[in-house]
Chains A and B, each alone.
Chain A
Amino acid sequence: MSNHLIIAPIVLPLLVAALQLLIGERRRRTVVLLSIASCIALVGVAVALLLAASQQGSEATMTAVYRIGDWPARFGIVLVLDRLSALMVLLTAVLALAILPYALAPWRHRGGHFQPLLQFLLMGLNGAFLTGDLFNLFVFFEVLLAASYGLALQGSGARRVSAGLHYIAVNLTASMLFLLGVSLIFGVTGTLNMAALAELIPIVPERTRALLHAGAALLGVAFLIKTAMWPLGFWLPRTYAASTPAVAAMFALMTKVGIYVLLRLSLLLFGDSAGTASRHFGSDWMLWGGVATVATGIVGMLGARDLGKLAGYNVVISAGTLLGAVGLHQPAVTAGALAYLVISTLGIAAFFLVAGLLASDGDEETDDTLNLEPYDPGGDDSKSDALFAAEDESRVVISAPVAMLGLSFFACAILLAGLPPLSGFLAKFALLAPMLDAAPRLGARVLFTLIIVAGLSTVIALCRAGIQIFWAEPERPFAQVRLSEIGSILILLGLCLLLTVVVEGPLRYLGDAARQIHASAGYIHGVLPVAEVAP
């Protein structure tokens, strides 16, 4: 494999986006073709990278390193490819390719420059997954955030702009915290290379260790804001519910970037080999923060009044679950968490798309999400009588697109709740089973219980929504569904189905990935060749 392939996921979207901007919005067909070609190429590159990463030897002391400008790792910026980053790059590319058909359908509220912004977002995401340098990570975060601001505002309207305003303000503040954390860490250690940092942290003098921890904590807060940990995540459901479905589906990956960085940095910098003073620094915070986040997500989901918010709180629950799992620092749990990350990203993305299709019949200018009726356990008798009467009079004929939507909704619900037989169950099982075995900590038990409760409340919330949408109002006019729109959903759900059948290979890969990131020495020696390692 040519080593230059590692930088392709960053350079390719950048070039395509620049070209698309030059071509301009007028020649839409060319722009769209470029996007499709770029996404297909990205999937190809990501698969090649994944295969290359999976051949890195079973114990994985090797990591493929790309030195930008061929500067030695200590001075220059490196891109690092290991199993985890290859997995994330592949997930990004697949998700982008899957939502493209949906985004091609003409929207009611069109926004400008969707395709170039999407490419810039891909560039930022891939860069954040591949980089091995903290400041470079900041730059890629800003690239992906700037693109996401544009995407969140797609379609305009007062509700979107107001939600976007909050989103941007929160993220700008988080970026400031990011910079403060990075500069504190640089001040203490004199390097921003992640591998060099991991090597230096055990031997940092005691009097500056507190400063280092403060810097790491600030950095952590910046990522936790992106991950939407309670109480830093109140911006998320509103923003996601307000964005257009295709964008919200892509944003399902955005919280996972925060999770990825937390996973990578906490294991690399504060893993088992970080010395007694810094070992597992912050892991309790992540564990209990994850617990609180899952709890918030449950409450929010049960109270959600429209499908967009419901999906948003699902993102919160999955982020909290992952955060807690990262905080446990167990290789087996991490492997399960990676499986859950993949499935929940695909499932939530599909759910956002389904929600968008179900809601797209509204005529209001600004409020085009589907509102659910307030929950009323006593029931409104007159209403239900009318309902039965209506049902008796006219036999409900289910048309093919509605049946398709219903099935997709059902599949999403099963995936998100983690019920058998779909892959959501397998992923949740892979996450929960080792959690009981290996972790006698109180937090692990609380998290375990809450994840089960979250599954139950997902079932309740989605049942309620599904009954109201598909059964209770037979005369609800469904919007016309285009083949390309349902195609996107089918791709995403099909992938989840595929992962239900083909389990062993991916799970083995994820287990290897988890072992690889838990063995931080492999990463350090991969990035810094032995000759360069300080005595």
Chain B
Amino acid sequence: MELVLAAAIGVLVASGVWLLLRPRTFQVIIGLTLISYAVNLFIFSIGGLRTGADPVLHEVAGDIGQYTDPLPQALVLTAIVIGFATTALFLVVLLASRGLTGNDHVDGEDGTP
């Protein structure tokens, strides 16, 4: 379980960084999105992984040790919302840049004339 999750996060980050360094704006935004997925998964896993456990309560109610830590979930929720909003904003700027410069290179000018 840990290995699968770690590998997933690693692959997402690696692909994200690769795309982030590409020259086209669309690749950059996909790269940022992949990295943000990886970060969200990472935050989620910080609370600890348990396989086959009850979602919230075990048999005895009121034992704090049986609850999963709710804080990482709150954090990941906030991170998702903020990441989504800023990505949408980036998308708008990307479109504006495309409209103003006429191409989708991050520097606004295409290397190949």
Give chain A's interface residues, CB within 8 Å of chain B: 135, 139, 142, 145-146, 149, 153, 156-158, 161-162, 164-166, 168-169, 172-173, 175-176, 179-180, 182-184, 186-187, 190, 192
> Could you say which of B39, B43, B46, B82 contacts A142, with CB atoms under 8 Å apart?
B82
| A-side contacts of B72, CB under 8 Å | 183, 186
| A135 nearest CB neighbor, chain B only | B75
Report how far A193 CA is from B97 CA in the complex, Å: 40
Interface residues as binary, B59-71 with A (CB distance below 8 Å gives 1, 0 otherwise): 0000000000101
Task: State whether A179 touches B20 (Cβ < 8 A).
Answer: no
Mostly helix, strand, loop or mixed at chain B's interface?
helix
Nearest Cβ on chain B to A312's Cβ, whole angstroms: 18
- Decide yes or no: A176 and B93 within 8 Å by CB, A139-B82, A187-B46 being known contacts: no
Excluding A168-B86, A176-B32, 12 further A-B contacts by CB distance (< 8 Å) are A142-B82, A142-B86, A146-B89, A149-B89, A165-B25, A165-B94, A168-B89, A172-B87, A176-B36, A176-B39, A183-B39, A183-B75
Task: State whether B28 touches A169 (Cβ < 8 A).
Answer: yes
- Decide yes or no: A158 and B108 within 8 Å by CB, A169-B28, A176-B39 being known contacts: yes
Nearest Cβ on chain A to B81's Cβ, whole angstroms: 10
B100 at the interface (CB under 8 A from A): yes
Interface residues as binary, B98-113 with A (CB distance below 8 Å gives 1, 0 otherwise): 0011000011100000
> Could you say which of A135, A156, A190 contacts B96, with CB atoms under 8 Å apart?
A156
Task: State whether B39 touches A168 (Cβ < 8 A).
Answer: no
Report how far A183 CA is from B71 CA in the complex, Å: 10
| A-side contacts of B90, CB under 8 Å | 165, 168-169, 172
Task: State whether B46 touches A135 (Cβ < 8 A).
Answer: no
Task: State whether B108 touches A186 (Cβ < 8 A).
Answer: no
Report how far A28 CA is from B25 CA in the complex, Å: 35
| A-side contacts of B107, CB under 8 Å | 162
- Decide yes or no: A146 and B85 within 8 Å by CB, A161-B96, A165-B94, A169-B106 being known contacts: yes
| A-side contacts of B87, CB under 8 Å | 172
- Decide yes or no: A162 and B86 within 8 Å by CB, A139-B78, A157-B100 being known contacts: no
B26 at the interface (CB under 8 A from A): no
- Decide yes or no: A162 and B89 within 8 Å by CB, A173-B32, A179-B79, A183-B75 being known contacts: no
> Could you say which of A135, A161, A175, A180 contacts B93, with CB atoms under 8 Å apart?
A161
| B98 nearest CB neighbor, chain A only | A161
| A-side contacts of B82, CB under 8 Å | 139, 142, 175
| B-side contacts of A146, CB under 8 Å | 85-86, 89
Task: State whether A165 touches B89 (Cβ < 8 A).
Answer: no
Report how far A182 CA is from B76 CA in the complex, Å: 11
| 29 interchain pairs, CB-CB under 8 A | A135-B78, A139-B78, A139-B82, A146-B85, A146-B89, A156-B96, A156-B100, A157-B100, A158-B100, A158-B101, A161-B100, A161-B108, A162-B100, A165-B97, A165-B108, A168-B86, A169-B20, A169-B32, A173-B20, A173-B32, A173-B35, A176-B39, A179-B39, A179-B43, A179-B79, A180-B39, A182-B75, A183-B75, A186-B46
| A-side contacts of B32, CB under 8 Å | 169, 172-173, 176
Give chain B's interface residues, CB within 8 Å of chain A: 20, 25, 28, 32, 35-36, 39, 42-43, 46, 69, 71-72, 75, 78-79, 82-83, 85-87, 89-90, 93-94, 96-97, 100-101, 106-108
Report how far A166 CA is from B20 CA in the complex, Å: 11
| B-side contacts of A161, CB under 8 Å | 93, 96-97, 100-101, 108
Report how far A158 CA is from B82 CA in the complex, Å: 27
Task: State whether B89 touches A186 (Cβ < 8 A).
Answer: no
Most buried by B among A165, A180, A182, A192: A165
Report how far A172 CA is from B25 CA in the complex, Å: 14
| A-side contacts of B35, CB under 8 Å | 173, 176
| B-side contacts of A153, CB under 8 Å | 93, 96
Most buried by B among A169, A184, A190: A169
- Decide yes or no: A183 and B97 within 8 Å by CB, A162-B108, A172-B90, A176-B36 being known contacts: no
- Decide yes or no: A186 and B71 within 8 Å by CB, A139-B78, A149-B93, A169-B106 being known contacts: yes
- Decide yes or no: A186 and B75 within 8 Å by CB, A142-B82, A158-B100, A165-B106 being known contacts: yes
| B-side contacts of A158, CB under 8 Å | 97, 100-101, 108
| B47 nearest CB neighbor, chain A only | A187
| B-side contacts of A186, CB under 8 Å | 46, 71-72, 75
Task: State whether A172 touches B46 (Cβ < 8 A).
Answer: no
| A187 nearest CB neighbor, chain B only | B46
Report how far A180 CA is from B108 CA in the complex, Å: 31
Nearest Cβ on chain A to B23's Cβ, whole angstroms: 12
Most buried by A among B82, B87, B97, B107: B82
Nearest Cβ on chain B to A161's Cβ, whole angstroms: 5
Task: State whether B43 touches A183 (Cβ < 8 A).
Answer: yes
Nearest Cβ on chain B to A408's Cβ, whole angstroms: 33
Report how far A183 CA is from B79 CA in the complex, Å: 11
| A153 nearest CB neighbor, chain B only | B93
| B-side contacts of A157, CB under 8 Å | 100
| A157 nearest CB neighbor, chain B only | B100
Nearest 10 pairs of A and B residues by beta carbon? A162-B108, A187-B46, A158-B100, A183-B43, A183-B46, A161-B97, A142-B82, A179-B39, A176-B39, A161-B96
Report how far A294 CA is from B108 CA in the complex, Å: 30
Task: State whether B42 touches A183 (Cβ < 8 A).
Answer: yes
| A-side contacts of B83, CB under 8 Å | 175
| A-side contacts of B20, CB under 8 Å | 169, 173
| A-side contacts of B86, CB under 8 Å | 142, 145-146, 149, 168, 172, 175
Nearest Cβ on chain B to A268's Cβ, whole angstroms: 21
| A-side contacts of B85, CB under 8 Å | 146
Task: State whether B93 touches A164 (Cβ < 8 A).
Answer: yes
Nearest Cβ on chain B to A367's Cβ, whole angstroms: 13
Nearest Cβ on chain B to A103's Cβ, whole angstroms: 22
Report how far A169 CA is from B85 CA in the complex, Å: 14
| A-side contacts of B106, CB under 8 Å | 165-166, 169
